[in-house]
């Protein structure tokens, strides 16, 4: 198998060399494609198809198909050919000239005539190239062209005998020479990691990927159209801030050289937009990138697109109406229906969205009524009874949220507004007048996901200062995601902010839902990926040949490693043989919510049933880099619950310390991907 890989790499290197030689020959002949600065494109491929079909209808009308009934095979063939020639004569008498451009994805050379497929933004079009039409020299150049080359094509439209609308080429221009070899079959490739790293190749080879990102652009466009129709004003606010507030998240930190000041990348858009409400802009929104220094999994990326909007003189009820209307509008305009399907499950955005308080949801799905729980101690006792892990600093409000995450979220498939959250987890929200322990807040859940978060915004500067003070205490007690007092924001509130409704939407998750995409990386053109071998080769691209890479041996320094002494106690063979060591393949890996250490693995162990194992290795690995790997697990350990999730087995790692240090190194045992899932280790 290794020999096959080396042979394939050598073949690719040879093909690249041949392409370079072809480019040199073109340049020496004064035909350097990289000297061309523009090309006149009159149509895209979908437009070519549409105008020819309309032209056919106009010229051929309701001309019936040829009748071959009662004819033998030879007579039928002659009749079909005669009918085709008559149709061609009628159409060619009024030709439609077009000019289009794109990448050649297929070619078939047949002596004096050839066919190729040219792909552009809108699809593919077959081109018919003949020596007689473009000339002997141009035809000879075309025959030397490669898959991936970019051409400009001029000619007239016709329909082939097989019925395919094509362009009869009269002029062919090489616009760019492809020096890399495209994959023969990128669609079924198992290395999805490389698809994300080299998205440009993914877009070329997979039309459905391109469709997803075209639809993403349309979704954002329709959001703007919807909000413009409601008189909202789009604004832009700072990305680099001194105090990253507005959400419970760890920020990225950087430094302004000119100001000699440490700053943070924003984690939300909220506090600046509220300042604009204070300034009298009344209805504002922003669609922008925010940055949270957190893990990567199928639904989270450290850099993502958020939309927040704020409307003066309304509350969270007004935000619910706006949200429901906007989601319905997006489904209808982008998907063509308010009934969408995600992963085989139908989701109806046309019906009124269900409304449920957080406490009522817990009562329904967990059988616990927190309205009857009065103290933090009672709430913690209940959490212990149900096996829900919490931190000592947590209050009743925090425990309510943990119960909701544990018992309720997985049941919220159809659109559901979860309302009236605990005050403890909502530092920027107005209290409910009828119950000061709760706030006027909602989250919309669809397909078990939180799709948005909305408030009746807190506009009391005295109350806001008290809540900031509590957040500061939480930070002192070790809460890395706590917010901090923002004096300028408090000053803005003191100037006076009207009653306001506000909401934040995760655009990437919304695009996942409307495009039926399984992971957030499928809707991000360039998702966050761990670098391979340093920044310069971050996407796995190397300027070296495979032989040069093969010849290099990585030098590893073990001089600073401290190894734990071997066990002196022996174990008998029968006891050892009872442990079932198996190769397992990582199908999915995500960070466990509310845990800084645990990763949750979904594994193929060869049985046909997915196995879940939790491992406390998040300090050493990000989830996304482990998907697709083959690991070693002990599979016959008794199940053990961690963070309310049952872990069935243990993944094996190699651990050592560094000399003169308590720092630990951990390496998950990864084996050759050719080893099948379930293979037993002896």
Buried b (16+ CB within 10 A) or exposed e, 533-570: eeeeeebeeeeeebeeeeeeeeeeeeeeeeeeeeeeee
Taking residues 360-375, report their average pLDDT. Answer: 95
Which one, of 257, 256, 274, 253, lies nearest residue 265 by Cα?
Answer: 253
- CATH architecture, domain defined by 2-176: Beta Barrel (2.40)
Whole-number pLDDT of residue 592: 85
pLDDT at 308: 97
- Answer whether 2-176 and 555-671 agree in fold: yes
Architecture of domain 555-671: Beta Barrel (2.40)
Q: What is the CA radius of gyration of the chain?
A: 31
Q: Which pLDDT belongs to residue 452?
A: 96
Binding residues, as ranges, are: 443, 450
Q: Which of 161-165, 292-296, 360-364, 413-417 has the lowest mean pLDDT?
A: 292-296
Q: Which residue has the higher pLDDT, 629 or 191?
A: 629
Per-residue pLDDT tens digits for 413-443: 999 999 999 998 887 789 999 998 999 999 9
pLDDT (0 to 100) of residue 540? 59
Using pLDDT thresholds of 50, 70 and 90, give the confidence band for residue 157.
Answer: very high
94 vs 551, residue with greater confidence: 94
Is the model's pLDDT at 188 over the cut of 60? no
Question: Residue ranges for the binding site for Mg(2+)?
Answer: 443, 450
Mean pLDDT of 314-323: 96
Model pLDDT, residue 186: 46
Q: What is the pLDDT of residue 627?
A: 86
Measured distance CA(364)–CA(354) in Å, rounded:
14
297 pairs with which residues across the strands?
Answer: 300
Start-to-end CA distance of the chain, whole Å, equals 23
DSSP codes, 80-124: HHHHHHHHHHHHHTS--EEEEEEEEEEEEEETTEEEEEEEETTEE
Q: What is the mean pLDDT of residues 277-292?
A: 97
Residue 185 banded pLDDT, cuts 50, 70, 90:
low
Q: Is the pLDDT score of 34 beyond 70? A: yes
Helix (H) or strand (E) segment spanning residue 270: helix 270-278
Share the mean pLDDT of the chain.
Answer: 90
Where are the domains positioned within the chain? 2-176, 555-671
Q: Which of 22-36, 386-400, 545-559 shows the highest mean pLDDT?
A: 22-36
pLDDT at 665 over 50: yes
Look at residues 66, 65, 69, 63 and name the one whose alpha carbon lies nearest to residue 79: 66
pLDDT at 462 over 70: yes
Least confident of 37-51, 143-157, 550-564: 550-564
pTM: 0.79
How confident is the model over 69-79, as pLDDT tens digits? 999 999 999 99
């Amino acid at each position: 198998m290794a020999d096959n890989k080396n042979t394939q790499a050598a073949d690719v290197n040879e093909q690249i060399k041949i392409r370079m030689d072809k480019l040199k020959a073109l340049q020496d002949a004064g035909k350097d494609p990289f000297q061309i600065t523009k090309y006149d494109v009159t149509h895209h491929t979908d437009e070519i198809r549409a105008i020819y079909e309309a032209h056919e209808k106009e010229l051929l009308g309701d001309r019936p198909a040829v009748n071959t009934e009662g004819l033998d095979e030879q007579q039928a063939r002659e009749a079909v050919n005669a009918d085709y020639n008559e149709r061609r004569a009628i159409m060619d008498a009024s030709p439609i000239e077009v000019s289009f451009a794109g990448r050649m994805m297929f070619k078939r050379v047949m002596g004096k005539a050839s066919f190729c497929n040219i792909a552009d933004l809108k699809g593919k079009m077959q081109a018919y190239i003949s020596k007689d039409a473009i000339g002997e020299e141009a035809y000879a150049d075309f025959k030397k062209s490669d898959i991936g080359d970019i051409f400009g094509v001029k000619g007239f439209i016709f329909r082939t005998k097989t019925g395919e609308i094509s362009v009869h080429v009269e002029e062919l221009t090489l616009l760019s020479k492809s020096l890399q070899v495209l994959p023969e079959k990128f669609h079924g490739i198992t290395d999805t990691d490389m698809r994300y790293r080299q998205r440009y190749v993914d877009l070329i080879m997979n039309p459905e990927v391109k469709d997803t990102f075209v639809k993403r652009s349309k979704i954002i466009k329709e959001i703007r159209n919807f909000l413009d129709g409601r008189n909202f004003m789009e604004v832009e606010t700072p990305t680099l801030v001194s105090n990253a507030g507005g959400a419970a998240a760890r920020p990225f930190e950087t430094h302004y050289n000119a100001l000699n000041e440490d700053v943070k990348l924003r984690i939300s858009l909220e506090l600046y937009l509220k300042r604009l409400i204070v300034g009298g802009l009344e209805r504002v929104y922003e669609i922008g990138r925010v940055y949270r220094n957190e893990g990567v999994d199928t639904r989270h990326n450290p850099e993502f697109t958020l939309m927040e909007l704020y409307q003066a003189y309304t509350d969270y009820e007004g935000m619910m109406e706006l949200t429901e209307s906007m989601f319905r509008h997006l489904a209808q305009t982008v998907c063509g229906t308010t009934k969408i399907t995600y992963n085989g499950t139908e989701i109806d955005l046309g019906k009124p969205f269900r409304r449920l308080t957080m406490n009522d949801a817990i009562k329904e799905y967990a059988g616990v009524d927190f309205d009857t729980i009065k103290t933090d101690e009672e709430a913690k006792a209940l959490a212990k009874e149900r096996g829900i892990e919490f931190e000592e600093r947590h209050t009743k409000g925090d425990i309510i949220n943990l119960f909701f995450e544990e018992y309720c979220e997985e049941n919220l498939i159809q659109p559901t507004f979860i309302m009236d959250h605990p005050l403890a987890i909502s530092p920027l929200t107005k209290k409910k007048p009828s119950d000061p322990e709760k706030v006027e807040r909602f989250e919309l859940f669809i397909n078990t996901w939180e799709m948005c978060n909305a408030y009746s915004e807190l506009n009391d500067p005295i109350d806001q200062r008290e809540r900031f003070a509590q957040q500061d205490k939480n930070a002192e007690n070790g809460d890395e995601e706590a917010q901090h007092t923002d004096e300028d924001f408090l000053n803005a509130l003191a100037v006076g902010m009207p009653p306001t409704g506000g909401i934040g939407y995760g655009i990437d998750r919304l695009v996942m839902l409307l495009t039926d995409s399984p992971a957030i990386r499928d809707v991000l053109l360039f998702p966050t990926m761990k670098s391979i071998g340093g920044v310069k080769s971050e996407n796995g691209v190397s300027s070296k040949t495979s032989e040069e890479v093969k010849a290099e041996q990585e030098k590893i320094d073990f001089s600073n490693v401290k190894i734990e002494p071997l066990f002196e106690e022996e174990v008998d063979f029968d006891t050892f043989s009872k442990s079932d060591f198996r190769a397992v393949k990582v199908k999915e890996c995500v960070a466990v919510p509310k845990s800084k250490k645990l990763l949750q693995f979904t594994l193929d162990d060869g049985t046909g049933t997915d196995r879940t194992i939790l491992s406390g290795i998040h300090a050493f690995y990000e989830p996304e880099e482990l998907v697709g790997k083959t690991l070693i697990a002990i599979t016959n350990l008794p199940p053990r619950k961690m963070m309310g999730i049952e872990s069935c087995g243990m993944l094996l790692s190699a651990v050592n310390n560094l000399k003169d240090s308590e720092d630990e190194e951990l390496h998950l045992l990864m084996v050759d991907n050719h080893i099948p899932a379930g293979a037993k280790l002896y």
